[in-house]
Structures are given as structure tokens and as C-alpha cells.
Structure 1
Amino acid sequence: MPPTNDQFENSYELGPTSPSRNGFDVADIFTVSHLDCESSSDVKSFNPSKYSKRHSVREAVIPVQLHTGNDDHEHDAHFDTRLDSIGSGSSSISAAAANGQTDFPDGGLRAWLVVLGTAFSTLASFGYINSWGVFQSYYEQTLLKDHSPSSIAWIGSLQICLVFLPALFSGRLFDLGIFKFPFMVASAVLVVSTFLVAQCTQYWQFVLCQGLATGLGVGMIFGPSLSILGHWFKQKRGIAMGLTTFGSSVGGTFFPIATRRLIPVIGFPWTMRILAFILLFALCIPCLTLARRLPPKAASGGLFNFRLFTDSPPFSIYSGATVCMFLGLFTVLTYIDISAVTYGVSSEHSFYLVAIANASSAVGRLVTGFVVDKSGAINFIAPTTFLTGIITFVWPFTKSVSSLTAIAVLYGFLSGTIVSGFLIPAFLLGEVEDIGRRTGMIMTMGAIGGLFGTPISGAINRVTGGFVHVGYFAGSMIILSGTLMLVTRHFVLRKLWGKF
């Protein structure tokens, strides 16, 4: 029996708050599967226009539709299959819909324990990586002083690349329901590699242990830690992401100070061993608290779904924005310490610049968490991306302690907003069952920029003998990224005002 208008009204109110341009989002149709519909014709006979007018558009969600052929019968059969699979995929979700509840907890003890775990995982992963600027400066002056800044920078860039590159693999495993075991193995790899760095004395050993092994461990931790938030939060996804990435700011502030303070007292080997024990403690918390909520779903398209780029132009453009962003984003954090030493600032003060930048980024990440839930991610991070590019242009011309400190504070805050919010558009450019692979693809594209960005900056520094042209290169890449973000927003909204 076809559902009544009252049934449809109740079902529509359970759906997402973001109708598409024709007023009826594909995700809204999925909630009809909980009703007593006999065929897809019952669904297609529904006209939701009067309901879409009553519900304000709070965010734009672009479901990616894969090609299923031109035959209408095949399309209906495929659509009915989707309805059946979603209706029977999770009894808990069906029960939630039947009780008039949202599909996302958006709070509660279990959800906030997940946020706690992800915060500690980012502290031990991306927060540790964010302290690379201190190692870059220390290696240039001591252990690897016979190597060029560009060569040393390859260690850090390899870390950055591998933070994002394994996300493609870990994201696919996450979608298939395989999360806990890879996460624990990656945690062990990160801790062991940090212990091994203590024994390194030659360049290739640092590349192998601190570049390759540490990067792989961090990459298999960081990606799933962010994807899992998409299972637990929707309306409060921004604040959850902000609190999660706040952990990386805490790590990026703590690790540089601890490293430079401990080395003169106990030496480099024991400093690295103490850092490894800290990482071990921090990673025990996410291993105990993180868990998936939704049932696994083997979405079509393979490990790297190239059809996303043809089926969703906004996804393609945003991927390009991510590449450009990471080509320039880590340059200041990597070279601000050594640039200060070059300008005559004492090394006793210069290393604090990295910690100051990371501490300031914590504020930026929290602000982003509160703002993007109201304004939309790109609406907020595109302007801050442009401002980050401008600060990058200014950085080489600041040569005093006070001016460099101001740059560190401003750059840390602005870059923190980008890091905290850049994955949220990827959550919205498709469906939740594909969220791990989609974020993995975005992060893998960003890995390309992360791999080449700081070595290119180091090579420019070596050729020009300064940091002015380094700032021009990195700042231009960041400005281009902000421009592509706005293009993505235009493709999604097709209008000047709107939330995305």
C-alpha cells in the first residue's frame, strides 16, 4: 500500500537537512526504505516540494552517482536494491529511524570517548610530525651538517607524504570494517621507529627510520582517526573535528620544547627514547576507545575510485586544491626555525617559534570547530587559506624576534583552521558508506604536495641563498588552493550565498 503523506512527512524529517538543487536529495529517499513501500514507483510518486520549503538548507551534500546504464528498468532495479540494502544493513539504524531519532548520535558518552581517543591519536601522530621543524634545524647544525637543507628536508617531506598516502589503503579497510588491528600495528610501528631513531647516525638511517617507518605508522593512524568521526557526528561534526585536531596542536607544541630541552641534558638518543615512551602512552588511549559504529559496506569502485573524478567535478577540483595546499602549507613550519637562526636569532629562542606556531594553531582548530558547523567548511577555510598565503609572502621579510614571533602566531592560527577543516568538504561530497575511501583519496592527493613541497622550498633556498623566493613559491601555492576551494563551492551551490 502506498505510504500516506503523513508517513512521508515523518520520514522526510528524519532525512538529512540538505536537499539538492531539485529540492530532493538522494539521501532523503533512503529514509523511505523504512516505510511500507511496495515498489520504487511509490517513491517516485512522492513530491516533497512542500516539505523542502519548510526545512531550511543547512549544508550542501553532493551524493556521487555512479553510472548504471541508460536502461530505466535497470536503474529502477538498482535503486530498489539500494533501498533494500540500506533498509536491512543495520538494525540499529532502522530502529533509530522508527523511533524518530537521527542516525548520528552527535553526542553521548560513547561518542565523546571516540573524540578523546582521536585527539590522543592525532597528538601522537600528526602532532609529532608537526615538530619536524626542530629536527630540521638540529640536524642541519649537528648530526647531518654535511648535508644540504634540501636533502634533510626530504626526511620531513617523506613523513608528511606518508601521513596522507596510506590513507587510501587504510580508508578502504575502514569502509570494509577492518580498523582495530591495522591501527594497533601502526601504533607499534610508530613507537618502535622512534626508538630506532635514537640509534641513527647516518643520513640513510634517518631516512629509513624517521622518514619511512615513522611516516607509515603515522599515516595508518591519522587517516582512520578522522574518518571514524563521520560515523558518530553530523550536526556537530565541525566541533568534533576541531577537538580532534586540537590534539595535534598540543603534540606540536609539546614535542619541540621537550626535544630541545632534553637533548642538552640527556643527549639525543635518550631524548628519542623518552619521546617513544610518551607516544606509547598516548596511543594506548585510542586503542581502547576508538570503534566503528556503522556496519561495513563494500562500496563499488575499487581501492582508488577514478570514476569519482568524472562523476563529481567538485571532488576533482577540491582534490587539486588539496595538492596545492600541501605544496606550500608546511614550508613556514619547516623553515621558520632555521630562517631565524640565519637572521641572527639565538638557537635557544628560535626553536620556540615552531612550538608557538603549533600552540596558536590549537586556537585556530577550536575556532574552526565551532564556526564551520554554522557557516560551512569552505565558507570559513577559503578566506583563512588566502590569509595564510599572504602571511607566507610576508614571512621572509621578518628578521627580528618579535616580528618572527608574530608571524608564528598568525601563521599557526590560520594554518590550524585549514588543517582542522579541509577534510569536512570530503565528508559532504558523497555518501557515508564511502567516507573512508573518499577521505583517503583526498589525503592521498594531498600526499603528493606534502612530498615535494618542502624539498622544493629547500632547493629554492639553496639556489637563491635566502627565503624570499621560498615564500613566493609557498605563498602562491596556498593562494591557488584557496581559489580552487571557491571554485568547488561554486560548482556545489551555483549561487553566491549558501552553506558549504
Structure 2
Amino acid sequence: MSKTTASEPSLDDSVAQKSPEDTDVEQGPSTEKPEVTAPESISPYHPSQFPDGGRDAWLCLLGSACCLFCSFGWLNCVGVFQAYYQTHQLSNHSPSTIAWISSLEIFVMFFPGPIVGFFYDNHGPKYNLMFGTFFHVFGVMMTSLCTEYWQFILAQGICSPLGLNCIFNAATSTITTWFFKKRGAAFGLMAAGSGLGGVILPIMTTHLIEDVGFGWTMRICAFLILALLGVALLTVKSRLPPTPRAFKPRVFWEPFTDTRFNLLTFAAFLFFMGLFIPFNFIELQALAGGMSTRLATYLLSMLNAASILGRIIPGILADKVGRFNMQVFMSFFSGILVLTFGLLASSNAAFILYAVFYGFASGAFVGIAPAQIAYISKVEQIGVRMGMMFSVVSFAGLIGNPVAGTITGFNGISIFAGVMLVAGAAMFTFLRMYVAEWKFLVRI
């Protein structure tokens, strides 16, 4: 496990030590003065120094929610594009081939995380947000002009998610500098932005495609994203100054010397393998089960609407019962839902319940996982560690949907997704026990 050196401040830093005692001096009866003790300085990383509120903190939270709306919220509507491309521009390609667009989008969003995190630690969030805004908006604009498979790969699969990575990292890393006691709730409220994006964007794109066509639909989405990221550029700022470090390979290797980080990354990898499969296939599964096209297009929005509560409520509860405890419960809940509703749903009501419950259960992961990283890391390490974890996890996002697309039948797809989610939940349980030093009744 990594050790904290004396020169590196951490969340557990105590009040700085007093200066050494002054040497004795000659004191005359008429010149004696009471000794004046200099006020003790407190590290800005000390838990008592986190405001957990105030105008700047809440504005930063608002801007971070806008970032999540435009990043994870955009990813949450991948199912709309999967279904649309299969019947329009890419109808001559297999579902598995089309699924590589969304999977590549997930992969590219997270894989450069270590570099983006290192840049954040050295320069703060502003440059990341500017870079991310340009690439995300440009990629979505270029997607509006695409007609060939390779064009969708370049614009939607590579260019846009390069920006998503910077946007997501800037938001999640900055919030940790403002909140400590209320960090779970703050992450939940921030992550609710992605759920809101997942509600609005699928409905918006579905209706706009019918009214103005695919090209202008994507352009309108790009303008909306640009406006929200403009709010983020004005409000997202760190409470702490950047901590520049020389670019050395050991900076990126350091997280893997911490067993807790390794266990968290492995658990997240397994869970991520199955996380987006219901997002990508629930609409197609419902259509195959007899649901009308009109109603099926709302399933993804229902799922994401429920995920708003799934991000906020577990985040608030995590501050009360422990972030690791809550992650264990919600991840098992997600896996069990897929292995029950995903296999047994055959009516409109069943598919709607499946979407709502899975949205609520799976939504907790996005908000709680960064809070878990913050718990086991020093503040100045969070950017790189966040990036390293999601970089590893990106490989799960890359292969999850295409593997599911090669499986024959929706029952097989649900079994694969459910098993991956339960396996991740089991590893989250092992991680929780390890961090709690094998104690059961501990809030952690």
C-alpha cells in the first residue's frame, strides 16, 4: 500500500507542527514580556478546511453537473444511435459492427485519462475544459455530415470522446476540493447531470430527427452542448492551486503500488463490462418483445430519469452509511435486476419497470466510484488516479457492447451483462472488507 511521506499533504494531515522552542535569553525584571505564540497554520488539505458549501462551491457543482450532462449524459443515449443506424445510414452493417462506434466512444473517453489527469493536477480545470469543449462540439458537428461507417468512427467514435475525457476529468477532480463531509451527496448531485442529459437527449434527438432530419439534429445537440459547457467554463474552478510535478513515468505507476486502488480498479472493470449493455440494447429488446416503436423510444429516457435519483439518493446515503457499503449494495442490485427482468420481461409494463429500476440501481456507480478514489487518495493525487482507473476501465467499455452484440438472443445478452455486474459487485465487496480491515459493522 502506498505510504504518505512527510512532505506530501493529505486529507488526514493534522495541524502543522509548531516551530522549535526558542533558545533561552537573558531576562531583566523590567524588560520581561509575555511570550507570544504564533498562530498555528493549518494545511488547506485538512478536512476542517473544506467549505462543504458556499457560493463558489455550489456554482462549481452547477458547472460540474453541466459537464456530466454533456459527457456521461451524451454516452447514456448511445442506444438511440444504435437503433437508428441499424435502420438508416448503416443498415448494411451488423449490430455488432455498429456497436463498435459506441464502444469506441466509451474507450476513447476514458483511455487518455492518466495524461488528462496529470495535466489537470499541473494546470487546473480551465485548459481541460477549453480543449474538451472544442473537440466534443467539433466531433458532434462532424457527425452530422457522416454517411459512411469510417466517418462515424472518426467523428463520433474518436474526435468527440477526446473532448469528453477532458470535460469529465475536470468536473470530477474539481468537486473534491470543495466538499469533504458532504462529498457523497456532492458527487451524487453532480452525476445527476448525466442522468438529466440521458433523459433530455434521447427524447430530443428522436423527435428532432423526425422533424428536421439527422444532420440538423446533431447540430442542435452541438449548440446545446456548447452553451452548457460555456456555463462550466465560467463556474468550474478548484479551491486549491495546481501542484505542478515533473512528467515522470513513476507518477502514473504510483497508483498501482496501492492495493486498495488495484482492487477498486478491478472491481470497476468487471462492473463496467456489463454496465452499458442494457443502455445499448434495451430498446431493441423491447421492440423484439412486441413493444411499439413509439413507446420503445422512451425507454432510454425512463432509464436515465430514474438514474437521476439513483445518483442523488445513494450519494446522500453514502455519507451516512459509507461509500464502500453503498457501492456494494447498489452494484449487487444492478446485477440481480438484469438477471431477472432482463430474462423474464415480456410485456410493456415489465420493460418499463426494468428500465426504471436498472436506471436507479446502475446510476449509483458514476457518483460513488470517484468518491471511493477520493477516500483512498491524497487530494493532489486524485486527478491522475481518477484517470488511471478509468483508463483501465475503458477496455471493458470497449469490448462489452461488441461482445454482447455477437451473442445470439437477448437472453444471452442479459446473462452476460448480469454475470459481469455481479462479478463486479463481488469484487466491490472484497474491496470493502479489505479497506475496513475485515470488519463487518463499520461505516466506510
The TM-score normalised by the length of structure 2 is: 0.89
Corresponding letter in the other structure for 1:327:
M
Q: 1:245 aligns with which of 191, 207, 211?
A: 191
Q: Deviations over 1:134-181 (max 9, x none)?
A: 111111111111111111111001111122222211111111124312
1:477 aligns with 2:424: no
Q: 1:429 aligns with which of 376, 396, 403?
A: 376
Q: 1:442 aligns with which of 351, 376, 389?
A: 389
1:410 aligns with 2:353: no
Q: Deviations over 1:432-454 (max 9, x none)?
A: 11111111111112111111111
Structure 1 residues 119 and 293, CA, compared in 2 at 3 Å: closer, same or farther? same
1:490 aligns with 2:439: no
Match of residue 316 from structure 2: 370
Matched ranges for 1:75-154 at <5 A: 94=41, 102-154=48-100
CA drift of 1:306 comes to: 2.4
Matched residues in 2 for 1:29 and 1:113: separation?
26
Matched residues in 1 for 2:126 and 2:91: separation?
41
Secondary structure of residue in 2 paired with 1:497:
coil
Q: Deviations over 1:342-396 (max 9, x none)?
A: 2222221111110000000001111022111111111012111011111111213
Q: 2:410 aligns with which of 456, 459, 467?
A: 467
Contact 1:337/1:350 (8 A) holds in 2? yes
Match of residue 355 from structure 1: 301
Contact 2:60/2:235 (8 A) holds in 1? yes
CA drift of 1:402 comes to: 0.9
Corresponding letter in the other structure for 1:399:
S
CA drift of 1:95 comes to: 6.1
Matched residues in 1 for 2:126 and 2:307: separation?
29
Deviates more, 1:29-38 or 1:287-296: 29-38
Secondary structure of residue in 2 paired with 1:232:
coil
Q: Deviations over 1:409-433 (max 9, x none)?
A: 0000000112221121111112111
Corresponding letter in the other structure for 1:473:
F
CA drift of 1:105 comes to: 1.3
Corresponding letter in the other structure for 1:220:
C
Corresponding letter in the other structure for 1:281:
A
Matched residues in 2 for 1:141 and 1:34: separation?
68
Matched residues in 2 for 1:424 and 1:181: separation?
23
Match of residue 31 from structure 1: 14
Matched residues in 2 for 1:37 and 1:161: separation?
53
Contact 2:338/2:417 (8 A) holds in 1? yes
Match of residue 443 from structure 2: 499
CA drift of 1:399 comes to: 2.1
Q: 1:164 aligns with which of 107, 110, 115?
A: 110
Q: 1:398 aligns with which of 318, 336, 345?
A: 345
1:266 aligns with 2:249: no
Matched residues in 1 for 2:144 and 2:154: separation?
13
CA drift of 1:405 comes to: 0.3
Matched residues in 1 for 2:326 and 2:20: separation?
41
Matched residues in 1 for 2:159 and 2:107: separation?
12
Corresponding letter in the other structure for 2:70:
A
Q: Cα RMSD (Å) of the superposition?
A: 2.1
Matched residues in 2 for 1:308 and 1:376: separation?
22
Contact 1:299/1:433 (8 A) holds in 2? no
Structure 1 residues 372 and 28, CA, compared in 2 at 3 Å: closer, same or farther? closer
Contact 2:64/2:232 (8 A) holds in 1? yes
List alignment gaps of at least 5 residues for structure 2. Answer: 4-8, 22-38
Number of aligned pairs? 416
Corresponding letter in the other structure for 1:267:
G
CA drift of 1:309 comes to: 2.3
Structure 1 residues 430 and 328, CA, compared in 2 at 3 Å: closer, same or farther? same
1:420 aligns with 2:363: no
CA drift of 1:304 comes to: 5.5
Matched residues in 2 for 1:499 and 1:483: separation?
18
Structure with more relative contact order (C-alpha pairs < 8 Å, separation 6 or more): 2
Contact 2:14/2:43 (8 A) holds in 1? no
Match of residue 290 from structure 2: 344
Matched residues in 2 for 1:28 and 1:195: separation?
42
Q: 1:229 aligns with which of 169, 175, 186?
A: 175
List alignment gaps of at least 5 residues for structure 1. Answer: 1-19, 21-25, 39-90
CA drift of 1:37 comes to: 4.8
Q: Deviations over 1:460-483 (max 9, x none)?
A: 1xxx2x111111111111111111
1:315 aligns with 2:243: no
Structure 1 residues 177 and 404, CA, compared in 2 at 3 Å: closer, same or farther? same
Contact 1:106/1:233 (8 A) holds in 2? yes
Contact 2:318/2:326 (8 A) holds in 1? yes
Contact 2:331/2:365 (8 A) holds in 1? yes
Contact 1:172/1:303 (8 A) holds in 2? no
CA drift of 1:195 comes to: 1.2
Corresponding letter in the other structure for 2:414:
G
Corresponding letter in the other structure for 1:477:
M
CA drift of 1:299 comes to: 5.8
Match of residue 137 from structure 2: 191
Corresponding letter in the other structure for 1:235:
K
CA drift of 1:185 comes to: 1.8
Corresponding letter in the other structure for 2:256:
F
The runs of at least 4 aligned residues of structure 1 exceeding 2 Å deviation read 26-38, 93-97, 295-310
Corresponding letter in the other structure for 2:429:
L
